[in-house]
């Protein structure tokens, strides 16, 4: 079986999905400079090839924030995955479990936590966004905890939605008859998606927030609700409030600044995720890989430091670990794989990552992943990490 590349699955997703859904996955904020820098900065780093090292007994296993994994990867939270494949969050969770990696359910999923837990037979991590209604947030936390969740990924870099021009042009934000007409036209242009996902994949509710949004609404109405209800007043006291209600692990996702990473631990976090939301929030900030080393230094081993943003291959994973990450979250990679082939598409993507990771470990002389460090880079690339942090986004 041929293993798919990121570009191949992205192209397949583009063919299968209505235009606005593909653009939602693919787009970034403003001019998309940070979106591009996330992967471009990883590509600038070169690994140092080593040979004749007896690499017959590799250990690719990892512990990701207390969760065992076959490779140092988790499927990070991706919104509306149930619109990319029939009951898409359930399919992705099944694939992740079969391949031995954690799965994090997005707060803005189509399938709610209880459905994914029941129908996938797994216990996903859960992503939390803070909304103004704290009573509802408390009830949601209690619900997810009662369903068995043990890890909460508190995403803090979305106090309001970023400005993504491609989404606006695609019709994602349109409401009323205009929105219905554009969505219907785009759906009819993709009959395989229309039959399998739109018709057979119902209901298309708002998952974990369904009870907070009365009535039946479209995607445009949902984005209006997000703009009105996500809370710009969220601060570290809110993390303390979440900590008081959540006995399990809490990871803070959306950290780029070392001072924020330290504050997260002081407020009760168990770990942080270095992330710029895939370049979807504030354009012109540093790539995730550029921000990583300073965060790792500031944290000083207090807890795991994970990374997401721009990771597409096993080579990228090795580079991220060599730069100091304890594990990696994938977003677009599994979203495109899900859209391209459902559960089997996500499984194929993970199998490709494992094959790429094995090659990268073998030819860098890294027998055990927990031993990955800066020694896996050539001298120029090790110096380049400092340059990337200083320069921020690549001006090209």
The residues assigned a catalytic role are 277
The helix (run of H) or strand (run of E) holding residue 134 is: helix 134-146
| Nearest residue to 187 via CA among 202, 171, 198, 176 | 198
CA distances (Å), origin 246, targets 1, 127, 142, 249: 43, 13, 8, 8
Give the sheet arrangement for strand 271-274, strand by strand.
73-75, 327-330, 305-308, 271-274, 249-255, 151-155, 125-128, 104-105
| Nearest residue to 122 via CA among 146, 103, 109 | 103
Dig out the tokens for 139 from the structure: 């009830």
Q: Hey, what's the torsion of the CAs at 190, 196, 199, 203, to 10 degrees?
A: -120
Eight-state DSSP code of residue 131: B
Phi, psi of 327, deg, nearest 5:
180, 170
Eight-state DSSP code of residue 371: G
Decide if 348 contacts 3 (C-beta within 8 A): yes
Eight-state DSSP code of residue 230: B
List, as one string, the DSSP characters of 268-323.
T-SEEEE--GGGTSSTTSPPHHHHHHHHHHHHTTSS-EEEESS--SHHHHHHHHHT
| Nearest residue to 60 via CA among 379, 366, 271 | 366
């Amino acid at each position: 079986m041929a293993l798919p590349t990121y570009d191949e699955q992205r192209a397949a997703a583009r063919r299968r999905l209505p235009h606005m859904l593909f653009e939602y996955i693919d787009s970034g904020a403003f001019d998309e400079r940070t979106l591009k820098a996330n992967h471009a900065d990883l590509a600038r780093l070169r690994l140092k090839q080593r040979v004749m090292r007896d690499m017959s007994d590799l250990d690719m296993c990892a512990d990701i924030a207390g969760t065992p994994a076959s490779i140092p990867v988790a499927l990070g939270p991706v919104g509306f995955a149930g619109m990319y494949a029939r009951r898409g969050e359930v399919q992705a969770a099944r694939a992740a479990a079969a391949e031995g990696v954690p799965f994090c359910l997005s707060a803005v999923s189509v399938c709610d936590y209880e459905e994914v837990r029941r129908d996938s037979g797994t216990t996903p991590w859960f992503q939390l966004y803070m909304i103004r209604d704290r009573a509802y947030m408390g009830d949601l936390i209690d619900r997810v905890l009662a369903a068995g969740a043990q890890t909460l990924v508190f995403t803090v870099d979305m106090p309001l939605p970023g400005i993504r021009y491609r989404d606006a042009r695609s019709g994602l934000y349109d409401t009323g008859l205009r929105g219905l007409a554009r969505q219907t036209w785009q759906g009819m242009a993709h009959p395989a998606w229309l039959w399998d996902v739109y018709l057979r994949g119902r209901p298309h509710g708002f998952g974990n927030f369904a009870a907070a949004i009365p009535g039946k609404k479209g995607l445009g109405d949902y984005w209006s609700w997000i703009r009105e209800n996500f809370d710009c007043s969220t601060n570290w006291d809110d993390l303390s409030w979440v900590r008081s209600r959540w006995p399990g692990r809490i990871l803070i996702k959306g950290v780029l600044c070392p001072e924020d990473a330290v504050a997260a631990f002081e407020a009760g976090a168990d770990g942080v995720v270095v992330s710029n939301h895939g370049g979807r929030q504030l354009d012109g900030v540093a790539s995730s890989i550029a921000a990583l080393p300073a965060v790792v230094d500031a944290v000083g081993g207090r807890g795991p430091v994970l990374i997401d943003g721009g990771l597409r291959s096993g080579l990228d994973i090795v580079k991220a670990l060599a730069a100091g990450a304890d594990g990696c979250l994938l977003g677009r990679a599994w979203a495109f794989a899900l859209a391209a082939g459902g559960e089997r598409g996500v499984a194929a993507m993970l199998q490709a990552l494992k094959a790429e990771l094995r090659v990268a470990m073998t030819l860098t002389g890294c027998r055990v992943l927990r031993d990955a460090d800066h020694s896996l880079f050539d001298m120029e690339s090790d110096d380049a990490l400092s340059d990337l942090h200083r320069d921020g986004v690549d001006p090209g």
